[in-house]
Structures are given as structure tokens and as C-alpha cells.
Amino acid sequence: MRVTSLALAAFFGLGACTTPAATVPEAPQEVTAAAVVEAPPMGVATDATKSANAALAARLPLGDQSDFEDANHGLLAQITEDITDADGNVVWSIKAHDFIKGEAPDTVNPSLWRQESLNAIHGLFEVTDGVYQVRGYDLATMSVIRGKTGWIIVDPLLSKETAAAALKLVNDTLGERPVTGVIYTHSHADHFGGARGVIDEADAAARKVPILAPIGFTESAISENLLAGNYMSRRAVLMFGNSLPDGPTAQVGVGLGAGLSKGTLGFIPPTEEISGRGTKRVVDGVNFEFIDAANTEAPAEFMFYLPDFRVLCTAEVATATFHNGLTLRGAKVRDFLEWSRVLDYALVNYAGRSDIAMGSHHWPTFGRERVQDFLRGQRDVYRYTHDQTVRLANRGDTQFEIAEELQEPSIESKNFDTRGYYGTLNHNAKAVYQFYFGWWDGVPATYNAWPMPEHAPRFVELAGGEDAALQAGIKAFEGGDYRWSAEIFNNIVFTNPENQAARDWLASSYEQMGFQAESGAWRDYYLTGAAELRRGLPDEGQIRAGGSADFIKGVPTVELFNALAVRYDPSKMARDPFTINFVFPDTGETLALDVGDSITFPRPGVTGGAPAATLTLNRSAFNQLILRTRTFQDLAEAGEAKLEGDPTALGAWFGALETPPFWFHIVEP
């Protein structure tokens, strides 16, 4: 659960430091705490950071306006008031990023500043007659296609509030129409979580509205948001900067978009999961050709082509940034070889008949030749990273050595959409290595190394104590080597989290690394880490882990029990194995739960033997029980739950379910 010092040192590889790494003195001198220099003031770029950012600006054509022309193309209307939830809480601030204009400040990488200037452009845009996009009101882009009788919604954002506001903007501007189709391009929550903002589940079922998704969508969506949701969501706080204020010394955007909305995440299951390439469907009179892209940006994903409009939707397989092989929040590692193959398939089979390419983030690309160039460049950056990482690994280099050695390909200096505004060449090389070889670098000493809380005191002792280590870290910081200063200060903090000087200097090291980062995700992670060291953990504003009523009610029953299984703590079970049968009259489902001394295993249907207990209640009531909005006693007294058999068996199972804390420490022990 901890980010190791090795991982922190490896995260940052932009080549910003111009001095060699400082070394521990051979004979550390006695240093008193009073001799330690105070850390520099917060929010000020050092000369080393200014120089690094200026050097990058000098070698990139930052004045190129072609992306700005595409991003502003077809603007029809804008939302002018903040988007709020039912209680008046701001879900999306319209003016939060109004400060992003003009030249980049010293505290922001100039290339990232350009990207966020583009991401800050918001509104309803006409892509072509009959195809529209709503951009800049959530992390993702919502596309809208005019069908024969209504609107077909593609990727209804993360929150129902932002999705509802986006649809209202469409109806107010273009004329009100019913939603006659919903498409989820892939299994990440920012592309389906707002579905209830554009359509009511009962209405969709009554009107037989198709809700289409790629094969494996439901399983993948639940895996990320329930099974592993708590840990991923905690790290996502750092990756997306949701606990940071907006401003030039804090959150400026994520590279993939301006940020995450803070509304209600829901889940409406698809009516069909589509496989294959060239698979055709007609939705409200509109022809679609779907292109399976599983195991690229998401485990379940597809692109699609609209022959009636000559538009290719690249989903999140091709966007205006180099994406992640392994996201900083944590996820299943992605297959860059397959990613490049899917892009080549689209290039060969669809680019020649596409006048426009649009994705699930960012702005469209207009013109057939530019679409071809876009797809070719995207293909090449993923294939380059894959091939060169494997080449270097095959000659014996580790993932950390490869990340340092891999040179920026020429395509990244020519096409801004291939630059690392979200994923980076550095950490994507490590992801490719992990895909083939796992997490280990092959060195025997690192296979079973001490975890950080045990490693750090030994490191500090070797340096000559906390004060000597502080002096070494300060020397590295003053030389502009923030990667090494962070390594040293991090060891001190994990040895003694009460060492305020180490905390301050570590926060300053992270801050400078964030100011230099071209990746919005790297910037947010570093700056949030710095903020947590300075102020402690926040107590609100967490990113949702799928634990909301709107999400839970869309989850298939057996998958909900699988999510409960990963909360089972065997040490809390003090009785022999048993079985509980569950009967859900409202859904017509039954489920048997084997409760053992090591695992719980859910199985559709009831057990053939004698269960310890049988619980009968509606699935909707069970959701309330799991979410703790009602107790079993409440349900029983209302006549909504019936228990037969041994009530202590049910109590024993519930009592062994762990509720993990959300605000666990990451940047300190």
C-alpha cells in the first residue's frame, strides 16, 4: 500500500536535472537540527525549474495554431453557470480554468500549459451536420448523434449532473429530442457514470432503447469500480488533483481533460455487448460499424465508424495525447503491441474514407489526410515504445534502465498529440516491461527487499542519521537534482514522519518536479503529494469508488457478491464453514454463498444441501443493507426481510466484512 522510494525516484524522467546526483558523504559530520536550512517558500519555481521549462519551450513549436483551430471549430453554445447537484454543491466550476491564458507561468511546464489551454475550451460543437460534441464539462467528451427520431448519446460522462447539463445544452440549442440510443465506448467510469443524467433506466427499458458497449464491458467496469475501487480511487485523488485548488501553482488539468467532475456516479448495464471488427448495427436509423479494441486503453473497448457521416470515432484508443500503458491510479497493464495493431487496422480500413476523426476526449481532427497522419502518428508512438522497450530488455536492461535510456522518438517532436500529457515515455516503457516480465527487475537483492518502513531507517542510519541525510538532500535540491533529493527526504519521512524539516523539503522537491512535469497526471500526483505532506489528509472530496446507490443498483448480483468477497477478513471468522442462501424476489434470483475459513465464494442458484440460513429480501433492500442506509432490523421490522435458519451465521458473515478506510497514507507511513 506504500509508494516506495525506488518508485518515486523512477516516476520522474523528463531530463530536467542538469547536475549529477548528489552522493552521501563518505564521513558524515555532526550536524545539528538548528543548522538545517529552511525549505524554500511554497509555490515558487526555482532557477533549475525555470531553465528546464524554458529548454523544452525552445525546442517545441508551441505557437502552432492548428489544434486551436480544430478545438474551436463549430462552437454553437456554452454553459455559463456552474453545474451543481440537487443540494447545490458545485459539481463542475465553469470558470475554474479561466486563468489558463497567455504565456505559461514559471510554475507550469509550457507544453502542458498549451495542452490545458486547449482543454479549457468548452461548449457544444458541431463536428459535422448531425454529429456534435459537448466538451469541457467533465474529464471526457460526450458525443451526440442525430438519429431519425432522437439523440444517440456516446459516452455520457462521469456524473449524472454534468451529463444532464450537457444534454440540456444540446436540447436548448438544437431542439429537444428523446434519447434513442446510448453507447459506452469502454469500461472506464468517466464514459458511463453519468448515464442516468441522459436517460431513465425504466424509460429506456420501456422504449427498448439500445445501450451498446464492447464485449466484456460489465465485468471490466465492475472490476475497476468495486473490486479494486477503493485503492484505485485513493490513488486517483493524487493522479487527478481533485483535492488541489485550481491555479498556476496547483491544478491546471490532467492532460486528458480539465479534471474530474464531483457529482453522482451511476451504472446502467448495457443491453448488448458487441464483439468483432466491422460489426454492423443500426441505431435509430444511423449506421454503425464497430471495431473491437479490447486490451488497449481499456480491457473492454471499441471504436466505431459512421458511414453516413464519414466520421471515425477513435474512443480513447487515439486521443490528443500519448496515453497510459499503466495508469498512475493503478489498473491492469495494457498491451501496446495490440494497441498499435488496432490503430493500424483503423488506419488501413477506415482512414481513407474518414473526413473526420473524433475521440472520447479532446477535439476532432478534420480532413482526410490529417486523419491519416493522426492515426499513423498514434500507431507509431505506441509501437515505438513497445518495440524499443522489448529490444532493450532482451539485451539485459531493467525497466528502470530502459526508462532512462529510451530516447524521444521523432514523432513526438512533430505531433503534439503524441506527447506525454497523460502517459509518458518513461512510465510507459516500464509498463511494457511489466507486461512481458512482471514487476521485478531480475536483480536477486530486489526480489524480496525490505518494504519502505523497514528500508528507510537503514538508509538514514547509513547516511549518518537524520540530520546528515537532510544535509545531503538539501545539497541535491540546491543542485537542481529533485529526483535524488526526493529519494533522500522520503527515506527520512518514512523513518520519522514527525521530522518537519524533512517533510517540508520533500514537499518542495515534489513541487519542483510537478512544476516541470509535462504530464498533467504526474504534475497532479507530485503536487498532491506535496500538499498532503504540508496539510495532512483531507477529510472530504474523495473520488467515488463505485460505492453509491446509483452505481450499486446496476451491478449484477453475483458481481456484487464478488465485490463483497474481497472485503472478507478470515481472521474475523471463528466458526466452521457454512452456506447462506439468498433469495431476491424482485429480480427472481437466488444465490448460494459458501463461507469458509479462508474465502467466501458466491454461486448463482441455491445450495443443494442444508444451508445454515436462508435470507429472503428484495435486491433493492439488500443494496440498502450493503450501503448501510438501512439495518437488517429496519428491514425485518418493515416486513421486507425474512430469515430462516441460524441468524448467527448471517451475523458472522456480515461481521467478517471489512470496510477499508479511504484516506490511507501514501506519501508517508
Task: State yes or no: pLDDT of 117 exceeds 70.
Answer: yes
For 372, half-sphere exposure in the C-beta direction (CA atoms, 13 angstrom radius) is 8
**Listed range (33-37, 355-359, 460-464, 554-558) with the worst mean pLDDT:** 33-37
CB 122 within 8 A of CB 137: yes
User: Which single residue is written with the C-alpha cell 485503492?
Assistant: 231
| CA–CA separation, 639 and 619 (whole Å) | 14
Q: Which of 153-162, 294-303, 445-454, 546-555 has the lowest mean pLDDT?
A: 546-555
Q: What is the pLDDT of residue 365?
A: 98
C-alpha cell of residue 3: 509508494
Q: What is the pLDDT of residue 21?
A: 33
E-only strand ranges, 240-276: 272-274
| Greatest pairwise CA separation for the chain in angstroms | 80
State mean pLDDT over 513-540. Answer: 95
Whether the predicted pLDDT of 17 surpasses 70:
no
**What pLDDT, on the 0 to 100 scale, is given for residue 226?**
81
Whether residue 603 contacts residue 571, with contact meaning beta carbons closer than 8 Å, is answered with: no
Question: Where would I find the H helices in 464-553?
Answer: 466-478, 482-495, 500-516, 520-535, 549-552
Strand 123-128 relative to strand 75-77, pairing? antiparallel
Q: Residues of 591-600 as b/e, b for ≥16 C-beta within 10 angstroms?
A: bbbebeeeeb
| Whether pLDDT at 433 is above 60 | yes
What is the spatial distance between Cα 565 and Cα 657, in angstroms, rounded to a whole number? 8
Instruction: Using CA atoms of 468, 470, 473, 478 in order, give the dihedral in degrees to the nearest 10.
Output: -110
Distance CA 230, CA 299 (A): 19
Give CA–CA dist 485/9, Å, rounded: 9
146 near 172, Cβ under 8 Å? no
- pLDDT(10) > 60: no
3-state secondary structure of 41: coil
Confidence of residue 667 (pLDDT cuts 50, 70, 90): very high
Taking 60 as the threshold, does the pLDDT of residue 663 lie above it?
Answer: yes
Give the contacts of 528 (CB within 8 A, at least 6 positions apart). 237, 238, 241, 243, 244
Residue 662: CB partners within 8 Å, gap ≥ 6?
A: 230, 233, 234, 542, 545
Q: Kindly tell me if the per-residue pLDDT of 547 is higher than 90.
A: no
Q: Quick one: cell of 292?
A: 473491437
- Among 153, 141, 278, 294, residue whose Cα is nearest residue 220: 294
553-590: per-residue pLDDT in tens? Answer: 889 999 999 999 999 999 999 999 999 999 999 999 99
For residue range 603-645, list pLDDT tens digits in order. Answer: 999 877 899 999 999 999 999 998 889 999 999 999 999 999 9
Answer for the pair 493, 499: CB distance below 8 angstroms, yes or no. yes
Q: How many residues are given for the chain?
A: 669
Q: Give pLDDT tens digits for 264-314.
A: 999 999 999 999 999 999 999 999 999 999 999 999 999 999 999 999 999
pLDDT digits (tens, 9 = 90+) for 76-105: 999 999 999 999 999 999 999 999 999 999
Q: Is the distance from CB of 470 to CB of 502 less than 8 angstroms? A: yes
Pairing of strands 302-306, 600-604: unpaired
Q: Which domains does the chain have, with CATH numbers?
A: 63-233+247-395 (3.60.15.30), 556-655 (3.30.1050.10)
Angle, in degrees to the nearest 10, between helices 520-535 and 500-516? 160
d(C-alpha 319, C-alpha 298), whole Å: 14
pLDDT band at 33 (very low <50, low <70, confident <90, very high): very low
Comparing 26-30, 109-113, 408-412, which segment has the lowest mean pLDDT? 26-30
Structure confidence at residue 546 (pLDDT): 53
- Give residue 256's Cα distance to chain centre: 10
* Residue 35 pLDDT level (bands cut at 50, 70, 90): low
Q: What is the pLDDT of residue 309?
A: 98
Give the mean pLDDT of 394-407.
97
Contact in structure between 319 and 331 (CB atoms under 8 Å):
no
Q: How confident is the model at residue 423 (pLDDT cuts 50, 70, 90)?
A: very high
Whether pLDDT at 4 is above 80: no
| Residues in CB range of 386: below 8 A, 6 or more apart | 336, 337, 340, 432
Q: What is the mean pLDDT of the chain?
A: 92
Confidence band of 11 (pLDDT split at 50, 70, 90): very low
Q: Which residues contact 622 (CB under 8 A, 6 or more apart)?
A: 582, 584
Is residue 358 predicted with pLDDT exceeding 70? yes
Model confidence at 31: pLDDT above 60? no
- Predicted confidence at residue 225, as pLDDT, reads 78
**CB burial of residue 465 (10 Å; 0-12, 13-18, 19+):** middle
Q: How far apart are CA 30 and CA 465, in angstroms?
A: 9
Residue 544 has pLDDT above 90, yes or no: no
User: What pLDDT score does 282 carry?
Assistant: 98
> Does 516 score more than 80 pLDDT?
yes
**How many Cβ atoms sit within 10 Å of the Cβ of residue 186?**
28
Which strand ranges, in their side-by-side order, compose the sheet holding 578-584? 600-604, 589-595, 578-584, 613-617, 641-645
Q: What is the pLDDT of residues 163-186, one digit of tens each?
A: 999 999 999 999 999 999 999 999
Q: What's the pLDDT at 87? A: 95
Confidence at residue 501, expressed as pLDDT on a 0 to 100 scale = 98
Let me know: does 398 contact 407? Beta carbons within 8 Å: no
